[in-house]
Amino acid sequence: MPAAGIVLIIAVLLIVAALVYYLVATIVALRKIATGLDGAIAAVGEIVAKSAPVEAVVNDINGNLDAAVDALEGLLVKKVGLNDAIGLIDGLYPGAGAEGMRNFPDSGKIVPPRIGEVYTRGVLTLARLGREAPIAAASPEGPVLRHASRASSEVRVLYPNERQVRPQRLPNSPVIGTDSPVRYEQALTPGVRPRPRTPLAAAAGDDETKGES
Amino acid sequence: MILYWIGSLVALFVLFPVVVYLLRGVLQAAEGIVPSVDRITAAAAAGSRDLDAVPLLLTTQAQVKQTVETVADYGGSLDQIVDDA
């Protein structure tokens, strides 16, 4: 056999070996992909099955809540009148009066009046209904009385140098319990704790002591 | 004979590298999909677990209905209750 034939056989063998190696590796990878997709399809099927009844249930909940909101909103208007109702809502949640009330389409155009009457807590509760829940997407932005997710950040803006900025400079919490070390001056009289001695008071006390002696 | 040599050398130094290059590209593409599929599977499974709480909506539905019915039962009395609150 000529040398050229041997070289050709070697080349063909190498090509076949490369084909086998890479194609087998590709088959293994594709099998992994198929297995993964089977799992994903099963999970997606579960998602579809679990979320199927959600729409009907949520619609039913919303329907009931709509009826309640309609009734309570109507009660608020009946109690205080439309103008004062908008004034109360705008007073509690600045800017919310412009959105108006659901069952009174023109109520958003009312200029919120200044309230000249003292209303009961029940009326204010009616005015707050549906406007304090943190999940209420329609809640007006801006300053609010109480906001579940915003309250702490507002306080931090007011007092930026408190514990959240320099916790290492604050004194440690007192150790309490039966085994706690005595760290504080004992009270001389029940209910009366001696005032901490300042350097100035200590100097004055020393002078008095010297004068008496 | 010269053509025979040329064919053999072309097969060894041109055809073989090209085949290896192409097959390696296919393998890398297939292996690159595997982690993505694994992440999709994990995300779908997590999404399915998140929906385990959906049956609680039935409790919410019942309680909302009960609450609204209770409020409705007050009827005109609610008017007075609001004044006395």
Beta-bridge partner residues of A192? A189
What's the mean per-residue pLDDT of chain A?
75
B5 vs A4, A14, A29: nearest CB: A4
**pLDDT tens digits along A106-154:** 888 888 888 877 888 788 888 888 776 544 444 445 444 444 444 455 5
CB contact under 8 A, B79 and A51: no
- Name the pTM for this structure: 0.52
- Which residue of chain A comes nearest to B15, CA vs CA? A15
B14-19 own/partner pairs: CB under 8 Å, 24+ apart:
B15/A11, B15/A15, B16/A11, B16/A14, B16/A15, B16/A18, B19/A15, B19/A18, B19/A19
- The complex's ipTM? 0.71
**pLDDT tens digits along A65-118:** 888 888 888 888 888 888 889 988 888 888 888 888 888 888 888 888 888 778
Interface of B with A in 4-63 (CB under 8 A): 4-5, 7-9, 11-12, 15-16, 19-20, 23-24, 26-27, 30-31, 33-34, 37-38, 40-41, 44-45, 47-48, 51-52, 54, 57-58, 60-61
CA–CA gap between residue B48 and residue B80 (Å, rounded)? 48
Is residue B27 pLDDT above 60, yes or no? Answer: yes
pLDDT at A35: 92
CB contact under 8 A, A11 and B44: no
A8 vs B7, B40, B65: nearest CB: B7
